[in-house]
Structure 1
């Protein structure tokens, strides 16, 4: 079962692990951008060059932090990551 997560929490986790957030600072810069898809799901993009390389790095960092990460890429959209977190079974 999934539990509630916030896109801001996902962004803070990546920033704490040394990845740049494209939405912070006084000017735009390449980096990650997280949005809330549902109460239990965030979606993550990389804004800038080497998109797939960065998404792979983000996925590795988020999995290390306990998130469940699924790559999403359809013909009509940019590649992105779907971020959830599983509750532990008792």
Structure 2
């Protein structure tokens, strides 16, 4: 078999493997990008988050919820948030 034939046979298998290994980051709006950039693996309290990015608590909680639903952020006890 030629190299092209081998690649042609392996291509469907490789595509499945590559898709599983690659973790895609969901699309984020501007507020979500700002919030995501502020967070770390170590949990931060909502008050320090809102001070750091100058966002109202209500809006910040809304953005954090959206990021939680996308699987990018997790909430700990006492309104502490971190990257997932």
- Which of the five TM-score ranges fits, normalised by the shorter chain? 0.3 to 0.5
Question: 1 or 2, which has the higher helix percentage?
Answer: 2
Question: 1 or 2, which has the higher strand percentage?
Answer: 1
Larger radius of gyration: 2
Q: Calculate the TM-score normalised by the size of structure 1.
A: 0.36
